[in-house]
Amino acid sequence: MDKIRKRPVILDGDPGHDDAIAWVLAAAADELDIKAITTVAGNQTLEKVTYNARRIAALLHLDIEVAKGRNRPLCSELIIAPNFHGETGLDGPVLPEPDHKLSDLSAPEMMAKVLRESEEKVTIISTGAQTNVAAMLLAYPELKEKIEMISTMGGGLRNGNWTAGAEFNILVDPEAAYNVYHSGVKLQMCGLDVTEKALVYPEDWERIRSLNNPIAKVVAEWFDFFFIHVSSLGWSGATTHDPCAVLSILHPEIFDIRDYYVDIELNGEYTRGATIADYTGRHSNEPNCACVVDLDREKFVDYLYEACSRYEGWEV
């Protein structure tokens, strides 16, 4: 029987509850081969999200070193989100301590190493500010051809969440996003258009909790914590943003994906960090971005449940 061809991926994020759930999905997927985890300041400071990433790697038994990225955006001051993710950036269940040393490489150096050494093109899954990805593209433009695609959670064509116009990940580092969107590399964007429809309801994570394996229980507790703030904003389910960047490459058939030219607003008084799409194609160049705009919510939740069920008998 043929072995499944695994797609090499780099996970770059700022965990963060939804980053962590995205990484649970990625680690459970037979189709993916996680080559590296890299961290970027965003939901919390770089030190905190890096510690979280290393604890998640230990929880998921990932035999890889985590590489720490830049501690601030390319040009602006850091914005963090303790209201959503707590003081640690990943408040909630107790996690195992890191079991691998932190890499001596910086995140962009680690990305470059993985790209250089890979025989196949590599997919970068970016679920935080795009600071590391941009820094790597600027420092090693010759490696662009080794990138299969960059699958991102960021932006929103209709609305923002941190300001009326801007979504958090893009707002944290608009200049980085600008460089990524102008890089010419194949890009997929899971913006708020889809991620605010990727609602996981309390009954959905109770079903996950009832799987009763250690990872399913942790995932349910992450939802418990994340939902405290999200529900105070009026949502009846948890807006499960970052897992969309993983599931939209694993199961594109459950998503509505449209090609548009998208640019990043850098200067607007009210709109800095907004992602502006040319829906008509009349005002711009060729599309530069596959924009994920909708999904089959029930199938999304089923895939999440199925991924958590794969951790039956897991030891923590």
Q: Total residues contacting ligand BDR (rule CB under 6 A)? A: 15
Rounded distance between C-alpha atoms, residue 112 and residue 106, angstroms: 10
Could you say whether residue 161 binds ligand BDR (CB under 6 A)? Answer: yes
Q: Could you confirm whether 283 is annotated as catalytic?
A: no
How far is C-alpha 68 from the chain's CA centre?
A: 16
To Ca ion, the closest distance from the beta carbon of 253 in angstroms equals: 25
Could you say whether residue 16 binds Ca ion (CB under 5 A)? Answer: yes
To ligand BDR, the closest distance from the beta carbon of 112 in angstroms equals: 23
Could you say whether residue 238 binds ligand BDR (CB under 6 A)? Answer: no
Rounded distance between C-alpha atoms, residue 268 and residue 164, angstroms: 12
- Kindly identify the residues of this chain, within the stretch 228-257, that bind Ca ion according to CB under 5 A: 242
To ligand BDR, the closest distance from the beta carbon of 53 in angstroms equals: 12
- Kindly identify the residues of this chain, within the stretch 83-112, that bind ligand BDR according to CB under 6 A: 84
Tokens 């899971």 appear where? 190
How far is C-alpha 152 from the chain's CA centre?
A: 6
Pairing assessment for the beta strands 66-68 and 32-39 based on DSSP bridges: parallel
Q: Which of 12, 19, 109, 265 binds ligand BDR (CB under 6 A)?
A: 19
| Contacts of 36 by beta carbon, 8 Å cutoff, 6+ apart | 10, 11, 64, 65, 66, 67, 110, 111, 113, 114
- Kindly identify the residues of this chain, within the stretch 116-135, that bind Ca ion according to CB under 5 A: 127-128
Of 101-109, 134-142, 163-171, 285-293, the window that binds ligand BDR (rule: CB under 6 A) is 163-171
To ligand BDR, the closest distance from the beta carbon of 162 in angstroms equals: 7
| Contacts of 251 by beta carbon, 8 Å cutoff, 6+ apart | 299, 303
Could you say whether residue 193 binds ligand BDR (CB under 6 A)? Answer: no
Of 32-40, 161-169, 196-204, 297-305, the window that binds ligand BDR (rule: CB under 6 A) is 161-169
Could you say whether residue 241 binds ligand BDR (CB under 6 A)? Answer: yes
Could you say whether residue 167 binds ligand BDR (CB under 6 A)? Answer: yes
- Please identify which of the residues 17, 241, 251, 283 carries the catalytic annotation: 241
Would you give the binding string for ligand BDR spanning residues 26-55, x where CB under 6 A is met?
-----------------x------------
Query: Considering CB distances under 5 to 8 angstroms, the limit depending on partner class, which of Ca ion, ligand BDR, none binds residue 168?
Result: ligand BDR
> Which residues are known to be catalytic?
241
Q: Where on the chain is the footprint of ligand BDR (CB under 6 A)?
A: 16, 18-19, 43, 81, 84, 127-128, 153, 161, 167-169, 241-242
